[in-house]
Structure 1
Amino acid sequence: MKIAFVSYEYPPDTALGGIATYVDQVSKLLKQRGHQIEIFSGSSYRHGTEIEDGIVVHRVQDKEKNRKNFSLNVGRVFAERHTVVKFDVLEGAEIYAYARGAVQLVPDIPLVVKLHTPSFVIRQINLVQPSIQMKVRRYIGALRRGNKPQPFPRWHYDIKNDIERLHTLDADEITTPSKALGDKLIEVWELPAEKVLHIPNPYIPSEELLNLPVKSNTNVVTFMGRLEVRKGVLDLARAIPLILQQYPNTRFRFVGRSLPLPLSNLNMQQHIEKTVQRYRNSLEFTGSVRLDSIPSILADTDICVFPSIWENFPNVCLESMAAARGVVGSSAGGMMEMLDFGRTGRLIPPRSPEKIAKAVIELLENPELRMQLGQAARDRVLTEYNLERIGALQEASYVRAIERRQALGARESKDSVSEGIA
């Protein structure tokens, strides 16, 4: 098959997160299985076409990081290339609807939308409700400045005009890495259930991770990911004193970029340090790190904690599992499936500092149990997310999308592709 991916994120130029990792790995998987793959991606500094690892990559320069313009510009590049290649199928993510311009310019292209986590879900989770103290401070501050006190802004979700939802409804097949996200969007977005298929993302663990010894004794608990509300780092911060009261030699490492704390003049690192000020010497913040440094970080780790309020398919969990580390993960979303419903790690409900502390303490108290879970987690990564299994599921998905579009014919053409992005 001739398969095209439209994704703003793609390494190395825009290796921003999980979408970049997914597109990189799935494109290599499908190429190995004999398919012709081309990537249409973004870049902040270059524009043009190159062959990278045997895959044709079209980069569209986007200095302003304007999502709407990128969708339009990459759509034009795709449409022009399609006249030459005649792609069989196109895949893009739901978030930001970057492939929407391509679909509107080539309305008969079979489309697969891969769910990653829509913007409205992220906004809802990261929304912090102002406390009474915050409201009083704002009110008094406005009066002191001689201004009329203004209420805190409220976020309203306009589901009917959500471009990400509309783009997903245009799809011939919708795939979701976690059943939890698929079920959520079938209910909230009213997606047709017969089009939503569960296909985990492929994961190709590095030899460096697989070669790490299962046995470890570092007393280090590591969090990896952006430091933001959605990732549960506020709850982890509140769990740290409870853990240190029983295991004072434990060290906590936060690996990832610190985002601003909503409704505050602090960033997340500053807030965490303030929350556990008494135990500041037990904390380490690395900031953003290169992907190739992850094995060395996990080599110096006993337990990984990912207490997300919601998570679809976090690669950091799979990396930790491949490294055979003890994992404490959130039960809200895809980690529950990754950890085999608690058989290869410990699951905790979101927003539960006490449960986080209890799970971490259990693994600190029982190193043999932690290592048994770590070995089981590594085995699960190798059996559940390997190229052969995921490759076959992916191919079948594309075939269904092609057959559905052939039966339906071209979509209704649009007069313009300048619609806004949610």
Structure 2
Amino acid sequence: MKIALISYEYPPDTAIGGIATYVRQAAHMLAQRGHTVEVFAASPDRAGSETDAGVTVHRIQPTDRQSFATEITPIFTARHQAIQFDVAEGPDCGADAAGIGAKFPELPMVLKLHTPSYMLRRVGRPPLSLSGKARFILGGLRRGQWPQLTGETYDRQRDPEYHNALRAQEIAAPCNAIKDLVRTEWELNPVLCASVPYPYIPTPSLLDIPLDTSTQRVTFIGRLEIRKGILDLMRAIPLVLQQYPAAKFRFVGPAWPSPQANLNMQEYLSQKLRRYAASLEFVGAVPLDRIPEYLAQTDICVFPSIWENFPLVCLESMAAGRGVVGSHAGGMAEMLDGGNAGLLIPPKQPKPLAEALLQLLQDPDRRQQLGGIARERVLTEYSLENIGQRQEASYQAAITRHHKVYPPQPLASSPLQIS
């Protein structure tokens, strides 16, 4: 197949989060399986084309994030006219392929569900204090309204990401949780929705980490933001240290806004946990190739997200054989095999989180057993062979459905040349 992957995010220029990692892994997987793969992505400081491990990458410098879908379309148009792609894939968040889908309705399109923007807004708002709630209500009453503290009312008809999804012939979701949630809220045809997990290629540096480490360190890897459950971890840390004073907590990732306007999240956590400063370490953002180094220095990885679709950092931790404590709100429940490959906890509940961390701190044999199961699960469930076949089947389903509406046209024969 000739496959186009359209994504604002693509390493190293726009390695913003999990979408970037997924697109690179998927592109390399598909190229290794013999497909022609081209990626259409953004960059803050360069434009042009290059080849990376058999994958052709086209980059533009868009005016801003919102203009990417429009500005990438002429670049795609030139390549599509040259090679005629069989199928294109784009993400939900940002509707990066919307311009291409609108211009080429005859091109089969796959929408990859990561997490739509409306969901990110829903779970990412800082909680209001009592005084903040009072100001919010009084402001609404002055406008003649009784405001809803739960946040804005979502109207999918005004959401360009929803309308972009309606163009797709296949909705590919990494986990059943996101598939079922978005299918219900967007009222999508269930026949079009399939579960296709992200591929994952663990590096030798992860697989070589011994299972029987003994650092007594708990590590959080990811953006320090509300959606990642960082405030719940903040409240769980004192409960852990009261019973297990030797525990150490390391935070790896950039600091995002906190509930206090003048403090970023690292500053906020440091202030709230100042009594426990000796047990805390903030590393900040690190390059992806240094993650194995930090995983080798930890026993337990913790991901208490309010919502998480399919966090690749969880797979990295599983490949490293770490004991994983993860939220069951989203795809980690499937990654961790319902709790057979790690401990699952409810989001927004610090006490069960603390209890799970204590369980693994106090029982290293159990932690190492779970780490071994997790590593084996990564190597079997998320292998290139397994996920490659599922992704190819997803693309073929989109092509087959689309051809029922737009039957493929026979190529025009070249006119005879008479010398």
State the secondary structure of the residue aligned to 2:60.
strand
The residue type paired with residue 206 of structure 2 is: L
The 5 A counterparts of 1:379-394 are 379-394=376-391
In the alignment, which residue of structure 2 is the partner of 1:32?
32
The 5 A counterparts of 1:173-184 are 173-184=170-181
Distance apart, 1:154 and its partner CA: 5.3
State the secondary structure of the residue aligned to 2:72.
helix
State the secondary structure of the residue aligned to 1:97.
coil
> Is 1:76–1:101's contact at 8 Å kept on the other side of the alignment?
no
> Is 2:87–2:110's contact at 8 Å kept on the other side of the alignment?
yes
Q: Structure 1 residue 346 and structure 2 residue 343: aligned?
A: yes
State the secondary structure of the residue aligned to 1:301.
coil
Runs of 4+ in 1 over 4 A off after TM superposition: 135-140, 150-154
> 1:316 & 1:167 partners in 2: Cα distance?
28
In the alignment, which residue of structure 2 is the partner of 1:42?
42
The residue type paired with residue 252 of structure 2 is: V
> 1:125 & 1:23 partners in 2: Cα distance?
24
In the alignment, which residue of structure 2 is the partner of 1:374?
371
The residue type paired with residue 363 of structure 1 is: L
Q: Deviations over 1:251-308 (max 9, x none)?
A: 1001111101146322111221222221011111111100111111000000000000
In the alignment, which residue of structure 1 is the partner of 2:79?
81
> 2:150 & 2:355 partners in 1: Cα distance?
37
> Is 1:76–1:105's contact at 8 Å kept on the other side of the alignment?
no
In the alignment, which residue of structure 1 is the partner of 2:306?
309
Please identify, of 278-287 and 303-312, the stretch whose mean Cα deviation from structure 2 is larger.
278-287
Change (3 A) 1:137 1:121: closer
Distance apart, 1:103 and its partner CA: 1.1
> 2:137 & 2:26 partners in 1: Cα distance?
52
2:69 corresponds to which of 54, 68, 71? 71
Percent identity between the two aligned chains: 52
> 1:136 & 1:278 partners in 2: Cα distance?
31
State the secondary structure of the residue aligned to 2:37.
strand
> 1:239 & 1:262 partners in 2: Cα distance?
17
Q: Structure 1 residue 3 and structure 2 residue 26: aligned?
A: no
State the secondary structure of the residue aligned to 1:95.
coil
The 5 A counterparts of 1:89-104 are 89-104=87-102
Q: RMSD of the TM alignment (CA)? A: 1.9
Change (3 A) 1:80 1:137: same
In the alignment, which residue of structure 1 is the partner of 2:255?
258
The residue type paired with residue 43 of structure 1 is: S
Distance apart, 1:360 and its partner CA: 0.5
In the alignment, which residue of structure 2 is the partner of 1:273?
270
> 1:270 & 1:151 partners in 2: Cα distance?
30
> Is 2:304–2:325's contact at 8 Å kept on the other side of the alignment?
yes
In the alignment, which residue of structure 2 is the partner of 1:420?
none
Q: Structure 1 residue 228 and structure 2 residue 263: aligned?
A: no
> Is 2:260–2:268's contact at 8 Å kept on the other side of the alignment?
no
> 1:92 & 1:401 partners in 2: Cα distance?
13
Change (3 A) 1:154 1:345: closer
Please identify, of 368-377 and 125-134, the stretch whose mean Cα deviation from structure 2 is larger.
125-134
> 1:355 & 1:21 partners in 2: Cα distance?
31
Unaligned runs of 5+ in 2: 139-146, 408-419
Distance apart, 1:134 and its partner CA: 3.0
Q: Structure 1 residue 325 and structure 2 residue 322: aligned?
A: yes
Unaligned runs of 5+ in 1: 141-149, 411-422
> Is 1:210–1:322's contact at 8 Å kept on the other side of the alignment?
yes
Distance apart, 1:194 and its partner CA: 0.8
Q: Name the structure, 1 or 2, with higher relative contact order (CA <8 Å, separation 6+).
A: 1
TM-score (norm 1): 0.91
> 2:344 & 2:287 partners in 1: Cα distance?
28
Distance apart, 1:155 and its partner CA: 3.0
> Is 1:238–1:275's contact at 8 Å kept on the other side of the alignment?
no
1:240 corresponds to which of 234, 237, 240? 237
The 5 A counterparts of 1:149-188 are 155-188=152-185
> 1:138 & 1:381 partners in 2: Cα distance?
46
> Is 1:75–1:100's contact at 8 Å kept on the other side of the alignment?
no
Q: Deviations over 1:95-149 (max 9, x none)?
A: 1001001111212110000100011111010123422223568999xxxxxxxxx
The residue type paired with residue 12 of structure 1 is: P
In the alignment, which residue of structure 1 is the partner of 2:113?
115
Distance apart, 1:12 and its partner CA: 1.1
Count of paired positions:
399
Distance apart, 1:340 and its partner CA: 0.3
